[in-house]
Each structure stands twice: as structure tokens, then as C-alpha cells.
Structure 1
Amino acid sequence: MQEKKPETAAKNPKKANLLDHHSIKHILDESISEIVTGRGYAEDVRMSNVRLVMGTIIIIIALVAQFYKKKFPENRDFLVACIVLYIVFNGLLQLLLYTKEKNAILFTYPPAESFTSTGLVVSSKLPRFSDMYTLTIASADPKSISANEPVHLTKSVTQWFTKDGVLVEGLLWKDVEGLIDQYAREPKKNK
């Protein structure tokens, strides 16, 4: 299922500062997320929600420790407990980011009309001082029987931007859709 490309792109072109590595990656990641969700993959925000809840817990621990009614010598044990909880929840949050999220820019559910039971994990890398952008599409559940092998696309960002820093969305759209199609193909069965 292919949907129509957004018409607002011609009116409001996406422009990046070509000297800013983060600006380029942000524009590309945002555009790729739009392309993937435009292909019928609904975004799975569970991981983002878990991160938000853990971040909220960390902030509440810090606020309770800061504004506790008793002064320092009397609240020493309480402060030590708050510091330990703060460190534990921060450690859990970092572990979650390191093990589950890695370089992911988008988690999806499977398309509604699809026979697969797993969504996608779209991840990207743009190393500092490099123009080579790597996009990876993999299964959200790699151990699932319906999971396909991950596919990769490595290309210079100069292929998608004009010299003025305007993103040529048609070229990016074509490359990302080709990668999605490559992932969705049935793997060849061994005889």
C-alpha cells in the first residue's frame, strides 16, 4: 500500500544547516519516520512512554529530596535513600536505552492488512565528521517466525541535500521505500 507523498513538501521545504551534523540527522530521521508511517506502519510509542514514566519518577525523587520538610542533619537517611533511588532509576533508564533503543528512531506495529505479527525498528547512524548515513530496517521482534533479516542502506547525505541545505524529499522517499520493499520481500526458502 503506497500513499500519496505529502504536498506540503513543495510549499515548505525542509532545510538543514549543512555544517551541523545534528541538524542533518534530525531532518533525515524526521522525514524517514514520516515515510515509514505513510506506508501504513503505525508508530508504537510504548518505549517512549516507558522512558517518560521513568524520567518522571526520577524527577519526582529529586523534587522530594529537594523540598523535604526537615533540614539536613535530620533528613540524612531520607536523602541517602533518595540518592540511591535516583541512581537506580537513572541506571535502569540508561540500560533500557542501551539494550532496547540503541540508534532507533522509530518503532512500529505491523500494518493492519499484513500477515506478519511483528513491526519494524527503524534505526539510523550518522557518525561525526562523516557524510555516510546508514539506515537500518529490522524486525521489532527478531525472534519471531515472521521476522525478516535486517536490511541496510548506507549513502552519502550529499545525495539527498542541495548545496543550500534543502532536502530533496523525492530522492530520500525513493530510497527509503526501496529499503522497506526490500525488507518486506519474502526470504528465499532453502531446498
Structure 2
Amino acid sequence: MQEKKAETTKNAKKVNLLDHNSLKHMLDESVSEIVTSRGYVEDVRMSNVKLFLGTVIIVIALFAQFYNKKFPGNRDFLLGCILISYTKEKNAIMFTYPPAGSVTSTGLVVSSKLPRFSDLYTLNIGSADPKSISAGKPVEFTRSVTQWFTKDGVLVEGLFWKDVEALIDDYAAEPKKKK
């Protein structure tokens, strides 16, 4: 009995409940695991674009450090990078391709919010291409993180997985036809 308890404690996902960023990161990582376990493959193109833009910005910053042009001169480029990040990515955790054998031609955009000084975690699932004919209606839930964590900060994965899988099922469900 002691061995089993020690084994489950070792595999448990534990977080500091007072650290807002750790809570959100733990939940977001778990959501990514759940979505990929359902057959969705992560689309990393946006991450690659961000890495490329980050590299370009670092190179420009190195030149700017030794170049005589100051901040107002490079403002337009910086605003463009921020605008791309804000309009395309928003609060996205991950982008996916459609699952293999699926009739839809779009993947998912999974995003989340956990406002500072709040215990309400909002998870949203929508289409990666909302203008597509096969795009589903976005779905979301907002729940208190207190129902998924013990008082010691251990994530009760079964409860969280059940909630996230129900949301994925809601998104994938066929819309009811009106009579």
C-alpha cells in the first residue's frame, strides 16, 4: 500500500496554488495533452513564425544597440510584430490540424484565460479557420480552478480531463437541425 501511495505521489502534477502563472501553465499543458490524446496533431507553424520573428528582432536589436537610430525610428516594425501576435494568436495554447479521417478540413484553436487575482479559468475551443464551411461553432467553459486541485496543489487529472473532453465533444457534436 505504501509503494502505491508513493508512486501516485511521485507522478502527481503539483503546483503552488498561490502562483497564478504556474496554475495556468499546468492547466494549459494538461489541455494540450488531452487534445493530442484525442487524435489532434499540433500545428507548430505559428510557433515557428514566432521563433523566426524573434530571431529577426534579436538581430535588429543587436544592430540597434550599435546603430545611431533610436526607438522612434523602429516603432513601426515593433508595432507590426505585436499586431501579428495579438490578432492571430490571441490567448492560444495550441493550434491543431484536423484529426486523421475527419470530415472537417480545419483544426482547432485552443485558448485559455486565467485573469490575475481570479480563480476562474476559461477554456475556449474554436476552428483554426473560422471562415471555413466546415468550421464548428466555438465552445467554452469557465470554472473555478479550486475544483481541479487539492488543498496541497495536486491536480486531480480525472476531473479536469472529464471537463476538457466534454468540451471537445461539444465542439465536435453535429449541430441540431431546427424543425
Cα separation, 1, equivalents of 2:98 and 2:79 = 31
Equivalent position SS for 2:68 = helix
- Equivalent position of 2:118 in the other structure: 130
Q: Is the 8 A contact 1:62 1:82 kept in 2?
A: no
Cα separation, 1, equivalents of 2:106 and 2:116 = 32
- Equivalent position of 1:114 in the other structure: 102
RMSD: 1.9
Cα separation, 1, equivalents of 2:113 and 2:8 = 24
Question: 2:168 matched to 1:180?
Answer: yes
Matched to 1:17, the amino acid is N
- Equivalent position of 1:141 in the other structure: 129
Matched to 1:136, the amino acid is N
Q: Is the 8 A contact 1:54 1:89 kept in 2?
A: no
Structural mapping, 1:1-191, within 5 Å: 11-67=10-66, 79-80=68-69, 84=73, 86-191=74-179
| Structure 1 residue 64 displacement after superposition | 2.4
Equivalent position SS for 2:162 = helix
Q: Is the 8 A contact 1:107 1:122 kept in 2?
A: yes
- Equivalent position of 2:3 in the other structure: none
TM-score by length of 1: 0.84
Cα separation, 2, equivalents of 1:19 and 1:60 = 37
Equivalent position SS for 2:69 = helix
Change (3 A) 1:117 1:31: same
The runs of 5 or more residues in structure 1 that have no matched partner are 1-7, 68-77
Change (3 A) 1:166 1:115: same
Change (3 A) 1:49 1:9: farther
Matched to 1:96, the amino acid is I
| Structure 1 residue 65 displacement after superposition | 3.2
TM-score by length of 2: 0.89
| Structure 1 residue 9 displacement after superposition | 7.4
The runs of 5 or more residues in structure 2 that have no matched partner are 1-6
| Structure 1 residue 80 displacement after superposition | 2.5
Number of corresponding residues: 173
- Equivalent position of 2:4 in the other structure: none
- CA deviations on 1:23-75 (whole Å, 9 max, x unpaired) are 111100010011101111111111111111111111111212335xxxxxxxx
Q: Is the 8 A contact 1:61 1:82 kept in 2?
A: no
Q: Is the 8 A contact 1:33 1:105 kept in 2?
A: yes
Change (3 A) 1:9 1:104: farther
| Structure 1 residue 186 displacement after superposition | 0.7
